[in-house]
């Protein structure tokens, strides 16, 4: 069966520090991968998505970046965090071969920038 | 620009009643519409997908309608239970499956015993 892993679950980082959040998917190949952020009291904001290794599309210009070094690995990074980067970060995947199907989300990372 | 509106931020309903949540969209021509449930501190969980040529879709106590003329989807939970309390998100989707989902802000449903 397919599973998605996201870590860490919570993170407290000082302003100006780097960030690396990792997401991995098991039990499938060539998934579409997505990073969303949910700020307090706000909706899900799409940050990045990837349809293959090394292919990254950015939806919102900001100080975050994403990489997909392996088929089932998606990494969200920042060189210098801002206070406004605080939020709940969610990774999701979808199989393009399953036709119409919903996204499967990870359990999320709660990031607090202090 | 594309806009998704979910009727209210919060909806309180008594146990046993039918909860109805609304999702309106503008500047969109979605071929599908998805509904998700999100519990506090958790990722959203996929519930239902409805196609533009389907007027209605059911899954257990859930019913979704899709009116492309009104640009609206209604999400119903019949015989609501306190365990149905959560935030419900809608996501209209274009015909191309690779286009990422854009979500509404959600409606927080509270079912009161």
Give A26-79 pLDDT, tens digit per residue: 998 899 999 999 988 788 999 999 999 999 999 886 899 999 999 999 999 999
Q: What are the tokens at B33?
A: 């519409």
- pLDDT (0 to 100) of residue A61: 64
Report the 10 Å Cβ neighbour count for B76: 16
CB contact under 8 A, B43 and A106: yes
- Chain A within 8 Å of B45 (Cβ-Cβ)? yes
CB contact under 8 A, A104 and B46: yes
**How far is the alpha carbon of B97 from chain A, nearest alpha carbon, in Å?**
7
Q: Are strands B10-14 and B107-112 parallel, antiparallel or unpaired?
A: parallel
Maximum distance among all alpha carbons in chain A? 42
- Chain B within 8 Å of A103 (Cβ-Cβ)? yes
- Chain A within 8 Å of B50 (Cβ-Cβ)? no
Instruction: Please name the residues in contact with B79: beta carbons below 8 A apart, sequence gap of 6 or more.
Output: B16, B18, B61
CA B96 to chain centre: 20
In chain A, which residue's Cα lies nearest the Cα of B103? A44
Please state the rounded mean pLDDT for residues A13-34.
95
Please state the rounded mean pLDDT for residues A74-95.
95
Which residues in chain B have their CB less than 8 angstroms from residue A43's CB? 89, 103-106
- Chain B within 8 Å of A90 (Cβ-Cβ)? yes
pLDDT band at A98 (very low <50, low <70, confident <90, very high): low
For residues B12 and B110, the answer to whether their CB atoms sit within 8 Å is yes
Mean pLDDT estimate for chain B: 92
Taking the C-alpha atoms of residue B67 and residue B10, their distance in angstroms, rounded to an integer, is 23
Among B42, B98, B102, whose Cβ lies nearest the Cβ of A46? Answer: B102
- pLDDT (0 to 100) of residue A59: 85
In terms of pLDDT, which residue wins out, A40 or A81?
Answer: A81
- pLDDT (0 to 100) of residue A87: 96
pLDDT band at A4 (very low <50, low <70, confident <90, very high): very high
CB contact under 8 A, A103 and B101: yes
Mean pLDDT estimate for chain A: 92
pLDDT at B99 over 90: no
Q: What are the tokens at B86?
A: 């959560």
CB contact under 8 A, B104 and A43: yes
Among A43, A100, A107, whose Cβ lies nearest the Cβ of B103? Answer: A43
pLDDT at B45 over 80: yes
Taking the C-alpha atoms of residue B81 and residue B44, their distance in angstroms, rounded to an integer, is 19
For residues A75 and A22, the answer to whether their CB atoms sit within 8 Å is yes
Give CA separation, B81 vs A34, A113, B18, B78, in Å: 32, 37, 10, 9
- Angle (CA) B85 B86 B89, round 5°: 140
């Amino acid at each position: 069966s397919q599973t998605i892993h996201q870590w860490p679950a919570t993170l407290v980082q000082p302003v100006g520090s780097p960030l690396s959040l990792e997401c991995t998917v098991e039990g499938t190949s060539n998934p579409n991968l997505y990073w969303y952020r949910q700020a307090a009291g706000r909706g899900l904001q799409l940050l990045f998505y990837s349809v293959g290794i090394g292919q990254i599309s950015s939806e919102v210009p900001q100080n975050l970046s994403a990489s997909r070094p392996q088929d089932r690995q998606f990494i969200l990074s920042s060189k210098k965090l801002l206070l406004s980067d605080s939020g709940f970060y969610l990774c999701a995947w979808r199989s393009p071969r399953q036709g119409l199907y919903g996204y499967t989300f990870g359990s999320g990372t709660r990031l607090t920038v202090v | 620009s594309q806009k998704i509106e979910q009727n209210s931020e919060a909806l309180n309903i008594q146990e046993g009643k039918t909860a109805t949540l609304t999702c309106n969209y503008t500047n969109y021509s979605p071929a599908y519409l998805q509904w998700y449930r999100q519990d506090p501190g958790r990722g959203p969980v996929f519930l239902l997908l409805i196609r533009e040529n389907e007027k209605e879709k059911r899954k257990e106590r859930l019913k979704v309608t899709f009116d492309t003329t009104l640009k609206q989807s209604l999400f119903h939970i019949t015989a609501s239970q306190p365990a149905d309390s959560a935030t419900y998100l809608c996501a209209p989707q274009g015909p191309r499956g690779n286009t990422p989902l854009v979500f509404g802000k959600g409606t927080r449903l509270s079912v009161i015993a």
